[in-house]
Amino acid sequence: MSETQETGADAAVGTAQDTLSVVDNRTGKSYEVPITDGTVRAMDFRAMKVDEEDFGLMTYDPAFTNTAACRSAITYIDGDRGILEYRGYPIEQLAEQATFLEVAYLLIYGELPNKEQLEEWTHAITIHTFVHENVKSLVEGFRYDAHPMGMLLSSVGALSTFYPEAKNIKDERVQYEQIVRLIAKVPTLAAFAYRHAKGMPYVYPDNDLNYAENFLGMLFKVAELKYQADPRIAKALDVLLILHADHEQNCSTSSVRAVGSSQVDPYSAVSAGIAALYGPLHGGANQSVLEMLARIESVDNVPGFIDRVKNGDEKLMGFGHRVYKNFDPRAKILKKAVEDVFEATGTENPLLEVAKELERIALEDDYFVKRKLYPNVDFYSGLIYEALGLPVEMFTVMFAIGRTPGWVAQWLEMVGDKEQKIARPRQIYTGDRTRDYVPIENR
């Protein structure tokens, strides 16, 4: 970045399309800041000082709502047009034609696998679904009413102690082994947490089943010799996992990258993502949708509820999105999946009719259209989980299973990024200064 001394109106005029001209009115100095990919580097502002002892300008961006923390080639989102792509592939095509493990491979390695690669990848994950018996003992040590998300958080973090070689994060062979283990074992740990809360014996993985079927079996198998999942339910679950697989630099993904930037093992980094997802503002949104639908209770009560929303007395949960200013493309796909699951389970749930009526009104009413409040992925995912008979405490756990490939893809990309350093945001100090210690008897 160049610095020139300028005065007058010409100081604020840019000299090229790929730079930003800035005048520091404190000093009268003008600066040319390069623009690359529609961004300026925050460190370029550090050169803007009042004097040599000045630290330099910082940018202030609470929650990083307008700050790019990395360069990534994994997920593309155009919120205004409702576009979501994994490695350039539209989410609609992937949800309809691909399997979850195929998408996981795509996210992590950048290309769709050929037949041989997919078979090898699927086999590797299938034979790593079992966990060490000591991990089972760890899960058994939790209280009967422990939240399954807390159990998953602890057990995934504990895996780092079972695979100490995972700390060699630059070794490609080690990377591959840990990535496979995480994708393979997270559903097993999730199912153990569910069965623990139910007081039921744990079900070990069945290598004859595919990824979704195996997970359903570990959840719901009782006394049958061989668990057989309804293919419609297994497909709906596979689609749901695909839709949750990655979503750019959200709270949990940013947590994985921030913790991973210390060069910790991937289990610890992913457990940080699980911890972030645990929060109700991130992974718990679909639970709020179900609670809202239950309060409405029937289609007849929808108009009154809508009026209360407009008056500010109620919140419309599951509508609108921080990123999407259009219809969430994932919600369109899930709407069909909800209908398939309800048909397969024979569930006659009045909440689905309430959800459909809310969606119809939101898409037609000017109040919601003007505010771009369209259904998002959380609006329908909770209905699927409820139809499967899962308690609300498991909803976020299901989210974590789907998001695991995205977390490890982001972690792997971060590890290979030469520009990445340990995360260390700045702060604006607002406290007292240079206070003298007062003995306790004088306070």
- Residues 329 and 95 sit within 8 Å (Cβ to Cβ): no
Q: Which string of DSSP letters, residue by residue, matches 161-181?
A: HH-GGGG-TT-HHHHHHHHHH
Catalytic residue, from 282, 313, 340, 365: name it. Answer: 282
- CA separation for the pair 129, 126 (Å, rounded): 6
Q: Is 282 designated active site?
A: yes
Catalytic residue, from 378, 417, 432, 436: name it. Answer: 378
Q: Is 44 designated active site?
A: no
Catalytic residue, from 321, 340, 366, 436: name it. Answer: 321
- Residues 412 and 253 sit within 8 Å (Cβ to Cβ): no
Length of the chain: 443
Q: Is 123 designated active site?
A: no
- CA separation for the pair 367, 371 (Å, rounded): 7
- CA separation for the pair 8, 430 (Å, rounded): 35
Q: How many CB atoms lie within 10 A of CB 396?
A: 24
Q: Which residues contact 87 (CB under 8 A, 6 or more apart)?
A: 73, 74, 75, 106, 107, 110, 111
Q: Which string of DSSP letters, residue by residue, matches 191-208?
A: HHHHHHHHT-------TT
Q: Which residues contact 274 (CB under 8 A, 6 or more apart)?
A: 149, 152, 153, 156, 252, 400
Cite the active site residues. 282, 321, 378
